[in-house]
Amino acid sequence: MSTYTTQKDAARKGIVTPQMKNILATESIDETSLLEKVAAGQIAIPANRNHSSLLGAGIGTGLRTKINVNLGVSEDCCHVESELNKVRRSIELKADAIMDLSTFGDTRTFRRKTVEISPVMIGTVPVYDAVARYGKDVGAITVDDFFDVVRMHAEDGVDFLTIHAGLNQSAVERLKNNPRLTNVVSRGGSLLLDWMHRNDCDNPFFTHFDRLLDICSQFDITLSLGDGLRPGSLHDATDAAQIQELIVLGELTKRAWAAEVQVMIEGPGHVPLNEVVSNMQLEKKLCHGAPFYVLGPLVTDVAPGYDHITSAIGGALAAANGADFLCYVTPAEHLRLPDMDDMKEGIIASRIAAHAADVAKGIPGAIEWDNKMSHARKELDWKKMFDLAIDPEKAKAYRESSQPIDSDVCTMCGDLCAVKRSRAILEKA
């Protein structure tokens, strides 16, 4: 029988779990630091006891910045096998986590299959599934209905749950007193806002938070406290409603930690570039150093079709200044359900942002990857360059599409290649 309830409880007792051993083998962190940070809540290790195929990974201070991929079926695009292929492809492209955001059809079969085939952590938003599963008007869903779905996701092996528990009556009052340009853009947040309005009572996950903690503790689920009032436009960033919800999330974090439940905090979606750093500082301060999971942030609202770029800009700056986990954004954001190509573009953009941030914050080993690439470029070693590339497929395709006369160089400079010329003078003279 296990001598600990959660990864946090194990760390507090000095127990190195199998998942921690995975982290120690793949990250540049020592055992003492890992135990201290997990015990303090600065690192979360999402690892449901029922997720048998999982390879443990950590999110938080001193670790590589992780990236998440959103997928799942919807009423308009209900192609289960296509979404499972996205799961497989996401893993090939080295995503660190997958969130199943399915809202239609046989969601449980898809969720269980995703957990079964995935060695990376899996997250869900139970409120979405409550709507899909019961087929009821939102206002008719009961508190027990909500919690039955939470328990079902726990039993199915989900490693982290997004729960918008901080969107309570006080936060809604702030929203009403400070009107927004884009109101509420969080799908889970809007569903709970609707439920609260129709039932004239507070958020059931806020009111019954201890009930939620009991489930998380039983299955060792990490609670990802969702930002139901995240800004959906630059105009609404860092406003009273967003900050009010963040204050509540900080208070709920302490309650979760007291129950040995691990916590992540979800952060803003659209933020002007000059406010990104202050948003990171606010979260870390108000939420006591808990790992921060940012949804972008997108740094401009005017680039539909290119939001993987606006997100990567914001994500790199966010992660360099405290964010620990980036949710990918694809070129299809705001436009449609992403296809396989969109998904790849989003994953690569987020991985670039995460790595750039790891270099900036001095994660051990991060810049060595860049140094190896630079050495391969100096040597004009094309095979090694492809092996080191974050997207070898695209790098090879570009190279093969335009062949030079001299196979050492590329068609940009040809015989005027600065690398080849300077090397001949400085190293081979």
> 352-389, pLDDT tens digit by residue?
999 999 999 999 999 999 999 999 999 999 999 999 99
d(CA 71, CA 68) in angstroms, rounded, equals: 10
The residue type of 268 is P
pLDDT in the model for residue 203: 98
pLDDT in the model for residue 114: 96
What average pLDDT does the segment 339-362 reach? 97
Whether 140 and 181 have beta carbons less than 8 Å apart is answered as no
Whether 267 and 391 share a structural domain: no
Whether 305 and 401 share a structural domain: no
Whether 349 and 371 share a structural domain: no
Domain count, the chain: 2
Which residue reads 């972008």 in tokens? Answer: 296
**Band of the pLDDT at 76, cuts 50, 70, 90?**
low
> 120-155, pLDDT tens digit by residue?
999 999 999 999 889 889 999 999 999 999 999 999
30: left (phi > 0), else alpha (psi -120 to 50), else beta? beta
Whether 408 and 353 share a structural domain: no
Per DSSP, the residues of 357-410 read HHHHTT-TTHHHHHHHHHHHHHTT-HHHHHHHSSSHHHHHHHHHHS--SSTTS-
Residue 78 counted as an annotated binding residue: no
What CATH number corresponds to the domain at position 288?
A: 3.20.20.540
What average pLDDT does the segment 227-246 reach? 97
Provide CB contacts within 8 A for 195, sequence distance 6+. Answer: 138, 139, 141, 203, 204
258, pLDDT greater than 90: yes
Whether 147 and 215 have beta carbons less than 8 Å apart is answered as yes
Residue 2 forms part of a structural domain:
no
Residue 266 counted as an annotated binding residue: yes
Whether 309 and 409 share a structural domain: no
The residue type of 294 is V
Residue 351 counted as an annotated binding residue: no
- For helices 80-92 and 107-117, the axis angle rounded to 10 degrees is 20
Residue 135 counted as an annotated binding residue: no
Residue 41 counted as an annotated binding residue: no
d(CA 96, CA 326) in angstroms, rounded, equals: 10
Whether 222 and 46 have beta carbons less than 8 Å apart is answered as yes
d(CA 159, CA 394) in angstroms, rounded, equals: 32
**Band of the pLDDT at 427, cuts 50, 70, 90?**
confident
Of 311, 332, 360, which residue sits at a domain end?
360
**Band of the pLDDT at 334, cuts 50, 70, 90?**
very high
Whether 63 and 142 share a structural domain: yes
List helix spans (H) across 274-339. 276-286, 307-320
Residue 398 counted as an annotated binding residue: no
Residue 70 forms part of a structural domain:
yes
- Environment class of residue 6 by beta-carbon count within 10 Å: exposed (0-12), middle (13-18) or buried (19+)? buried
1, pLDDT greater than 60: no
**Band of the pLDDT at 429, cuts 50, 70, 90?**
low
Residue 161 forms part of a structural domain:
yes
Whether 273 and 379 share a structural domain: no
Residue of 170, 153, 171 lying closest to 161 (CA atoms): 153
Residue 1 forms part of a structural domain:
no
78, pLDDT greater than 90: no
Residue 164 counted as an annotated binding residue: yes
Provide CB contacts within 8 A for 210, sequence distance 6+. Answer: 255, 259
Whether 198 and 277 share a structural domain: yes
Instruction: Say how many CA atoms lie within 13 Å of 192 toward its Cβ.
Output: 31
Residue of 225, 216, 253 lying closest to 42 (CA atoms): 253
Residue 321 counted as an annotated binding residue: no
66, pLDDT greater than 70: yes
Residue 405, domain extent: 366-426
Residue 99 counted as an annotated binding residue: yes
Of 344, 360, 376, which residue sits at a domain end?
360
Residue 371 counted as an annotated binding residue: no
Alpha carbon dihedral 281, 264, 390, 384, in 10-degree steps, equals 100
> 263-319, pLDDT tens digit by residue?
999 999 999 999 999 999 999 999 999 999 999 999 999 999 999 999 999 999 999
Residue 230 counted as an annotated binding residue: yes
What average pLDDT does the segment 398-426 reach? 90
Looking at residue 292, what DSSP letter applies?
E
Residue 227 counted as an annotated binding residue: yes
Which residue reads 């969601």 in tokens? Answer: 107
Provide CB contacts within 8 A for 277, sequence distance 6+. Answer: 317, 321
Whether 218 and 335 share a structural domain: yes
Residue 235 counted as an annotated binding residue: no
Residue 19 forms part of a structural domain:
yes
The residue type of 94 is K
Whether 148 and 280 share a structural domain: yes
d(CA 130, CA 146) in angstroms, rounded, equals: 6
75, pLDDT greater than 80: no
Of 360, 380, 414, which residue sits at a domain end?
360
Whether 407 and 275 share a structural domain: no
Whether 409 and 313 share a structural domain: no
- Environment class of residue 50 by beta-carbon count within 10 Å: exposed (0-12), middle (13-18) or buried (19+)? middle
Residue 270 counted as an annotated binding residue: yes
In percent, the amount of the chain with pLDDT more than 70 equals 98
Residue 115 forms part of a structural domain:
yes
